[in-house]
Amino acid sequence: MVEFYTKDATQFIVTSEKIYRNGEVVIQGNIHIHHLILNEPAWIDVQQGDNKPPIFLKLDKVSAVLPSQEFFNGVRCHRNAYQVSFYVHKTEGWVMKKEVLSAVNDMHVRQILKAKHGRDIRSVSSELLQSKTELSITN
């Protein structure tokens, strides 16, 4: 069972056979969570029989989920700390920035940067700082 909330405070509980929204069953079938990461839309696959095509549900951005219940590409994942260097375009030109981010992998680092800074970023490099440990990250 996985529980999470979306940006409008809607509670979802997902089991292997049902999806509940605010306590009510909204769909049944063979349920597979494909993507469930904090601050990103959730993607869930539902198969309702061999003769029906799968249903792909895209839900609103996730506003609350336990780190142990996050999924990336269909697999439970854990976050690592990454030291990230990049250039961001400001009014005074290109400015180098450094941040520590909590992400699943390098691709996820880039997704987070695009969400935070838009498309005006260049030359992203990231270095894994910590793996498989509790992270304490402040901004």
Query: How many Å apart are CA 64 and CA 113, to the nearest integer?
Result: 20
The answer to whether 4 and 65 have CB atoms below 8 angstroms apart is: yes
Q: Residue 131 burial (CB < 10 Å; 0-12/13-18/19+)? A: exposed
- Determine what percent of the chain is predicted with pLDDT higher than 70: 93
**pLDDT of amino acid 134:** 45
132: left (phi over 0), alpha (psi -120 to 50) or beta: left
On the question of pLDDT at 137 being above 50, the answer is: no
On the question of pLDDT at 109 being above 50, the answer is: yes
On the question of pLDDT at 108 being above 90, the answer is: no
